[in-house]
Amino acid sequence: MSDIDWEPLVEAALKVRELAYAPYSSYRVGAALLADDGRTFIGCNVENAAFPVCLCAEQAAIGAAVASGSRSFVALVVATAGARPAPPCGMCRQALSELAADLPVLLVTPDGVREHWTLSKLLPGAFKAGTLTDGQG
């Protein structure tokens, strides 16, 4: 994790967090996902009155990255507010694990609180593509 320049990612995640559409929860989340080619993909949460239709910031960043042809990632920053930064939800952890199982993750708040994780620590025993085969063909 030491060779990653976290500051541009932190700045991007905090900035895009302010653009989140969160009229129901007022809980804004921003994400900045660094691809192995140096490009950064951002996303913010987008709420909807039909809650299952909501889009997480991490999912938005993943979608932007995949739509741009990226499939390999080296770092993720997630920006939330609160006394402690919040990790990605379970659905986002699973989606990220498909593309970068041991991804370094930095969780931040606007007040400067930071927590370093790896995705494998946040999601031990992730459901993998190999789980889909039953061993018979």
The CATH number of whichever domain residue 10 belongs to comes to 3.40.140.10
Predicted structure pTM score: 0.92
pLDDT in tens, 14-72: 999 999 999 999 999 999 999 999 999 999 999 999 988 999 999 999 999 999 999 99
Q: Is 58 a catalytic residue?
A: yes
The one catalytic residue among 7, 11, 47, 58: 58
Q: Which residues contact 90 (CB under 8 A, 6 or more apart)?
A: 123
Structural domain of 64? 6-126
Give residue for tokens 């063909």: 137
Answer whether residue 135 is part of any domain: no
- Neighbouring CB atoms inside 10 A of 77's CB total 29
pLDDT at residue 137 tops 60: no
pLDDT at residue 106 tops 80: yes
- Count how many domains the chain has: 1
Answer whether residue 30 is part of any domain: yes
Distance, CA of 70 to CA of 86 (rounded, Å): 25
Distance, CA of 10 to CA of 105 (rounded, Å): 11
Please report the pLDDT score of residue 25 as a whole number. Answer: 95
pLDDT in tens, 73-93: 999 999 999 999 999 999 999
Answer whether residue 111 is part of any domain: yes
